[in-house]
Amino acid sequence: MEKSKEFLTDGKLAILLVLVILVIDQIIKIEVKTNMSLGQAIHITDWFYIDFVENNGMAYGMTFINKLFLSLLRLVAIGVIGWYMYKVVKQGVRTRYVVFLSMILAGAAGNMVDSMFYGLIFDASTPFGISSFVPFGTGYADFLTGKVVDMFYFPLIVTTYPDWFPIKGGDEFIFFSPVFNFADASISVGVACLLLFCRKELETVSVGFSFRKRKDE
């Protein structure tokens, strides 16, 4: 009975956290997409801009995998993470572990929403005009091939490479140049917190995997 009660508590917490992160992520993205032209940047401070860009969906704007394949891969990953969370919550793991896993799941799902639906419900964003909602299915891309909206840009240090620096001498150097979104941040914070505060659970997963591998051999 006690384990069942714990499952209900942590399970509801996980669902609530995923929903909250998804709602915040989508509100920010829709606000940016329907109020800014592609490439437009709003200067907040010298080290923080709202800079509207779009990409194929990898974290921090990486784009070296085919879009459709990436979307299918992400769907599989979301399913695996969700199944794993269900199993570990039933086992009564620490709440912090559930919270950090929920952040990762929510971030992955947030970017998946863009890929699944943005191409169906928006016309294309361009540097010359602002995107708007269109009738479902008449947007700029097919299902699973929509682009992910990014907007947070933190050029913490902007300088130039010294002249003596090989190849790059005299070129501009920007410390932390990727543009990312709330979902990316949720994934990154979740992963970092797992590594810092959940070594016990991660070691258990590693030991269990090694044991099953040796057993299969």
Task: Give the active site residues.
Answer: 150, 184
* Cβ–Cβ < 8 Å for 102, 14: yes
Report which of 71, 88, 74 is spatially closest to residue 194, judged by C-alpha positions. Answer: 88
Question: Is residue 38 classed as helix, strand or coil in its secondary structure?
Answer: coil
Q: Contact, 54 vs 149, CB < 8 A?
A: yes
In 34-117, which residue ranges form alpha helices assigned H by DSSP?
67-90, 95-113
Between the CA of residue 89 and those of 93, 124, 216, what are the distances in Å? 6, 41, 26
Pairing mode of beta strands 172-175, 157-160: antiparallel
Question: Which among 95, 112, 113 is positioned nearest to 193, based on CA atoms?
Answer: 95
The tokens of 54 are what? 């779009």
